[in-house]
Amino acid sequence: EIVLTQSPATLSLSPGERATLSCRASQDVISYLAWYQQKPGRAPRLLIFDVSTRAPGIPVRFSGSGSGTDFTLTISSLEPEDFAVYYCQQRGSWPLLTFGGGTKVEIK
Amino acid sequence: EVQLVQSGTEVKKPGESLKISCKASGYSFTDNWIDWVRQMPGKGLEWMGIIYPGDSETRYSPSFQGHVTISADKSITTVYLQWSSLKASDTATYYCARREGDLDYWGQGTLLTVSS
């Protein structure tokens, strides 16, 4: 089973700052890497799929990059509504999905 | 508009049975598999299993195989997650989600509390 490790666990930043979130896989996930945002009491929302493709309606300040085992979600300039928990997820072995442990982006 | 609407909050006792639901609308129900995902209090996301509503083919995570049953009724575009004997450790929020490569639409979640 592929294990996804996210870092840092918590990121303390101010609005307007750049956020860089990391997701490392225990083996090559090819390009089947997605990112989700979850706010308290809400369902997760798909942000990015296939490493770098934004889901419909997702602002351009969200971008994904990486390959193989190392991936990054970047939020170019944090808006107040971006403070949330972010999960990476891989689907390299259909139908199994595995999620990372999450990174909480909190207001500094 | 694609929507997945889940059944409401449940409070159960250990040993009781339960079936929660997820009603899909706004797309062709048999075009997509639907997944179930668990989130225990204050924790991350765990994939439980998946069902193809067209023929009810089902696959489970090894962690959940034998502990839950996923089913579907395509006549009413609804999928289900059920337990025959609940445990306190089943306390969690359960989400259904549509699989389109990844999980592109999610239900609002069903909060289950199992306590004596």
What are the tens digits of pLDDT across the range A49-89?
A: 999 999 999 999 999 999 999 999 999 999 999 999 999 99
**Largest separation between any pair of C-alpha atoms in chain B:** 41
Best residue of B45, B50, B61, B104 to probe chain A, by most A CBs closer than 10 Å: B45
Helix, strand, coil proportions of chain B in percent (round to 5)? 10, 55, 35
B96 closest CA partner among B20, B26, B30, B10:
B20
pLDDT, tens only, B91-111: 999 999 999 999 999 999 999
- The C-alpha atoms of residue A26 and residue A70 are separated, in whole angstroms, by 9
pLDDT of amino acid A31: 92
Q: Does B107 touch chain A (CB under 8 A)?
A: yes
Q: Contacts of residue B106 in chain A, CB cutoff 8 Å?
A: 43-45
Strand locations in B43-91 (E):
45-52, 57-60, 69-73, 78-83
Provide φ and ψ at A81, rounded to 5°. -80, -5
Q: Quick one: closest CA in A to B110, which residue?
A: A43
Give yes or no for a contact between B53 and B74, defined as CB atoms under 8 angstroms apart. Answer: yes
Mind telling me how many Å the CA of B59 is from chain A's nearest CA?
Answer: 7
pLDDT of amino acid A67: 95
Give yes or no for residue B3 having a pLDDT over 90. yes
Mind telling me how many Å the CA of B53 is from chain A's nearest CA?
Answer: 15
Residue showing tokens 């982006």: A105
Q: Give the nearest partner residue to B101 out of A49, A96, A100, using CB atoms.
A: A49
Average model confidence (pLDDT) for chain A?
97
pLDDT of amino acid B92: 98
Give yes or no for residue A1 having a pLDDT over 90. no
**Band of pLDDT at residue A92, cut at 50, 70 and 90:** confident
Give the count of Cβ contacts less than 8 A between chain A and B.
51
Q: Which of residues 1-30 of B touch A (CB under 8 A)?
A: none
Q: Does B95 touch chain A (CB under 8 A)?
A: yes
pLDDT, tens only, B29-69: 999 999 999 999 999 999 999 999 999 999 999 999 999 99
